[in-house]
Structure 1
Amino acid sequence: MSIKLGMISLGCAKNLVDGEHMLAQLADAGVTIVDDVAEADVAVVNTCGFIESAKQEAINTILETAQLKQTGSLKALIVTGCLVQRYPKEIVEELPEIDAVLGTGSYTNIVDAVRAVMQAPGTVYQNFGQINEAEMEGGRILLTPGYSAYLKIAEGCDNHCAYCVIPSLRGKFRSRAMEDVLKEAQALADAGVRELIIVAQDITRYGMDLYHEHKLSELLHELCKMDFTWVRLHYLYPDEITDDMIETIAQEPKIVKYLDIPIQHVNNRILRAMHRRGDAQFLRELFHKLRREIPGLVLRTSLIVGLPGETDEEFEELCDFLREMQIERAGVFCYSPEEGSEAAEMPDQIDEELKNERRMIIEELQSDVLDQFAARMQGQLLDVLCEGWDGETGLYYGRSYADSQDIDARVLFDSTFSVEEGDFVPVRITGAQGADLTGSTERAQ
């Protein structure tokens, strides 16, 4: 097909991988992939539909992209992803600018969708396959920089948290076969990827459905034999972290000592209401154990404030826990009452002003933790993955092991020698600018 296509992928890394699979299928069919949708004949907006803010971002992006039909060369707009899966009827009825929709079980139909919108304009192509049978294999065209890539090892989720609709959008938890994961990982290593970021809704459960036992440690050992510099882990649910996993993370030098463990809250009543396993004492003991057995560990978590009925005392318990644990990285979210979730029907919904006030309190608390972390880093020599040159500061920028792609802070540094994007360089930390660390390169001995 002599068609130019551009893609905008929103939301999480797992959704990004789906977009990369679609691009590879399109390229195999002869479609020319362009970076700028303004230059495309067909645009794909791969949406998130998890919470209200993500839904609004997706709708705004769809409308902005649709304007290119008047101002650019765009002839058709295809919308895919979680927003489509969540609102299959409404999205077609309320957004007539859309020419085709694909649910999360139908990514492999992207070539058919492009053919349909080009051959039969005016008719909306729709395809919604079984979400529990969505294809997870196939080639990819990376949307990340060539030195860093995500590796999705499972799809779906079985946790059924009260505030979340992901199981209805992505289906049940399904591990990929280990041989398929390793084959894809080897292809990424051969292509020059230096940082491999392992993703799934819950990587700790990898293998439980296919092999009836935890297989994450075995998988990680095999991945660490490949030519990666860093192997980074997202997300580990606390209740399934085994001693074997901890030992593997501690002993494998390629696994960065950075763990993203979403806890959401620590108050026992709130955790039960969320349908989260474990309790405050379990989380406290787990984090102490991780700190003890993995020297230099940096922790990241996600938190929800303002679940219906959350009292001042329950919120303060969360704050006390954060002061005690000194978790270096935290994403704090106001509870969003999502249609179809159990929590949306709970009594005692909390007003937005109070939720935002609680979010700001935790963000201020975490700012103090970041300051203390920056102070501890002073004088340390860190390996930094260079991501480019910042013309505004006149410095290179990149990430240390303590910072994951797109969500954490940066390291700003100057250098006495030339540094290329994708290089790992030793940087002596000498200061901080807000959440970012600053320093200078030192030549490796």
Structure 2
Amino acid sequence: MSKKLHIVSLGCTKNLVDTEVMMGRLQNYELTDSQEDADVIIVNTCGFIDAAKEESINTVLNLHDARKDDSLLVMAGCLSERYKEELAKDMPEVDLFTGVGDYEKIDELLANKKSQFSEQVYLIDGAERVVTGSTYHAYIKLSEGCNQQCSFCAIPSFKGKLNSRSLDSVVREVESLVKKGYYDFSFVSQDSSSYLRDQKTIDGLSLLIHRIELIEGVKSARILYLYPSTTSLKLIQNIGKSKIFHNYFDMPIQHINDEMLKTMKRGFGKEKTIELLNAMKALPNSFLRTSFIVGHPGETQEMFDEMCEFAASFGFDRINVFSYSDEETTPAYDMSEKIDKETIQKRAEILGQIALECEMKSLEKEVGKTVDIVIDGESEESEFILSAKELAWAPDIDGELYVNDREVDEDLELGKIYKAKITELIGNKLLCTVDNS
């Protein structure tokens, strides 16, 4: 009888790729949704900000409380890497610790029942993954680490400097996944627009776009996590020319006030940031997603008001709002002029409401359009209504559409692309009619 594995992936999509690598190494285990039945429980943790750290620790402790006596509880990933000495001392509930360097060795670690932290961050290259959550979409990790010096970010302290995969390695992985039926890809990293800069190539993403376009079977792609000072107008133009890559731009700008951008060590000021955003917005069918941080040390009410005004007026399709988290090992941790938590919370709520209003305006503009959609399955609303996403959108984060009517005779297939006309917006859900004639 095969042993059973219960695995939890927390945090970002980059973490998800690493989790899928571990699943690829543990295919001799039977996956189970029940921690009570599992022989091995693995939590791939996130250690980015306080809320993520708290979620990771609570998840591990809750799984420990419910597991059977002879099971093995493993804590892996960013939080485990960042606080390896402290966690080993303070969390006796965990049987085995590992960080961000040994995902492809997880089978060996389990066999030896030994904690391990390799000095090098794991960079995927040829590993077999078990892609989760979709039969047609997969995330592709471009690099690890980051050369940026943002005042609020601790990632370089435990992920190190930028380390890009070779272009050939990325292409081989995409080709392998296409053979398994995947056709839609999201390319991710800490700073995707710096891809290959550590290998003395300035515009690595343009090379990537060209190579991916040559792979037969790739129908759809997008790039996530662009960084303003390493995103060029040429790259934006090349995305606009591509027949495969959508005009989808995910560029977290974090603020718009010049003084605050300088304090945050973002590299670009307001004028150049807006120049990039305008170039993106000018492309046909463009989709713009960004992120803002509220409550960074030194943020005055006037700075916050400027950010709110810009967020509300520019025309973003989606906005993520993050409350500043005071993280040790970051430059901001030692800054004076800290903002109290109550003010940060109030500012997050105000900007969060603006983000919701921007999303609703974006959704309203979709009504009447004919778009490519992909059927994902039954909706939570009703078994008679199908859930889908616009092909251009990123999975999970950009929303879903409801297919409530069709003008085709055959049953609609999961994972298949259809033409659909968006007919109305109810709440925050777009309704559409499939017409593949």
2:133 paired residue number? 144
Residue 120 of structure 1: aligned partner:
none
The aligned residue for residue 435 of structure 1 is: 428
Residue 79 in 1 paired to residue 75 in 2?
A: yes
Superposition pairs for residues 360-375 of structure 1, below 5 Å?
A: 360-375=349-364
Q: Which moved more, 1:397-406 or 1:87-96?
A: 397-406
1:185 and 2:174 correspond: yes
CA displacement 1:257-305 (0-9 Å, x = unmatched) = 211001000111111111101111111111112222x211110011100
AA partner of residue 424 (structure 2):
G
- 1:32 is displaced (CA, Å) by 3.9
The aligned residue for residue 47 of structure 2 is 49
From 253, 257, 267, the equivalent of 1:277 is 267
CA contact (8 A) 2:223 2:248 kept: yes
- Show the counterpart of 2:17: 17
Residues 190-227 of structure 1 deviation map (CA, whole Å, 9 limit, x = unaligned) = 11112111011111111111243322111112112221
**Distance in 2, Cα, partners of 1:304 & 1:255:** 28
Q: What is the alpha-carbon distance in structure 1 between the residues aligned to residue 136 and residue 213 of structure 2?
A: 16
SS of 2:285's equivalent in the other structure is coil
Counterpart contact for 2:323–2:345, Cα < 8 Å: yes
When residues 74 and 56 of structure 1 are mapped into structure 2, their CA distance, relative to the original with a 3 A threshold, is farther
> Are 2:149 and 1:160 equivalent residues in the alignment?
yes
- Per-residue deviation, 1:170: 1.3
Residues 371 and 419, structure 2, Cα contact 8 Å, conserved in 1? yes
Mapped to 2, the partners of 1:423 and 1:85 lie a distance apart of 40
1:46-100 C-alpha deviation (Å, 9 max, x unpaired): 1001011111111111012112334xx7611011000101110221222211110
Q: Which SS does the other structure have where 2:348 is aligned?
A: helix
- Conservation of the 8 A alpha-carbon contact between 2:100 and 2:122: no
Whether the 8 Å contact between 2:102 and 2:122 is mirrored in structure 1 is: no
Q: How many residues align?
A: 432
Q: Which consecutive unaligned segments of at least 5 residues does structure 1 have?
A: 118-124
Provide closer, same or farther for how the CA distance between residues 137 and 339 of structure 1 changes in structure 2, counting only shifts above 3 A.
farther
- Return the letter of the residue paired with 1:93: K
Q: 1:115 aligns with which of 105, 111, 119?
A: 111
Q: Could you state the TM-score of these two structures normalised by the residue count of structure 2?
A: 0.94
Decide whether aligned partners of structure 1 residues 365 and 135 sit closer, same or farther in structure 2, where only a CA change above 3 A counts. Answer: closer
The range that moved more, 349-358 or 9-18, is 349-358
Q: Which moved more, 1:130-139 or 1:37-46?
A: 130-139
1:93-150 deviation line (CA, Å, top 9, x unaligned) = 2221111001112223311221133xxxxxxx32111135656441111123121100
| Residue of structure 2 aligned with 1:223, choices 209, 212, 215 | 212
* Range that drifts further, 99-108 or 7-16: 99-108
Amino acid at match of 2:245: I
Is the 1:7–1:43 contact (alpha carbons within 8 Å) kept by the matching residues of 2? yes
Aligned pairs for 1:312-351 (under 5 A) are: 312-351=301-340
RMSD: 1.9
Equivalent position SS for 2:44: strand
* 1:5 aligned partner: 5
Moved more, 131-140 or 395-404: 131-140
1:66 alignment partner in structure 2: 64
Counterpart Cα distance in 1 of 2:328 and 2:246? 37
Match of 1:419 in 2: 412
Q: Which moved more, 1:417-426 or 1:379-388?
A: 417-426
- Shift of the 391–349 alpha-carbon distance from structure 1 to 2, 3 Å rule, reads closer
> Residue 89 of structure 2 is aligned with which of 83, 93, 100?
93
Identity %: 33
SS of residue in 2 equivalent to 1:266 = coil
Secondary structure of the structure 1 residue equivalent to 2:42: strand
